[in-house]
Amino acid sequence: MPIDSTAPWTHAYLRAQRALSAWIEADGRAARRLAFAARSAVMALAARERAQLARWVAWLLRSRALVARGLEQRLLRLDTRLARAVANAAAHLPALPAAPTARGARPTLVSHLG
């Protein structure tokens, strides 16, 4: 299938995102095995795609789910330029709203189901 030049994502970007996702999810030996594929896929990206990927990773870090797994340090070892781009993108993301306290918590779907 030909690539639509107006499409926001190229095959190279999607391949890099998949490879980086697999590397992020993996631990230990599996992560070391997947590092080469992730590094190669990221290196194949154009500058614009690399910036898009950096914003995507910055949002992952912002979610705080991956900070505990040391993703920032792992990124530095994988690709220093990408790690710097992620840090720059993270600095420009909007602030997340503060989590509500238990006393003033607003009802959520989960609280209604439980």
In tens, the pLDDT along 8-53 reads: 789 999 999 999 999 988 988 999 999 999 999 999 999 999 999 9
> What pLDDT band is residue 72 in, cutting at 50, 70 and 90?
confident
Q: Which DSSP letter does residue 93 get?
A: S
Amino acid, single-letter form, for residue 112: H
Phi and psi at residue 79, to the nearest 5°: -155, 110
State the Cα angle at 20 between 18 and 23, rounded to 5°.
110
Average pLDDT, the chain: 81
- Does 111 score more than 60 pLDDT? no
Nearest by Cα to 84 from 45, 58, 114, 112: 58
Q: What is the pTM of this model?
A: 0.70
> What pLDDT band is residue 103 in, cutting at 50, 70 and 90?
low
Query: Residue 94 to residues 64, 77, 90, 108: CA-CA distances in angstroms?
Result: 14, 27, 9, 23
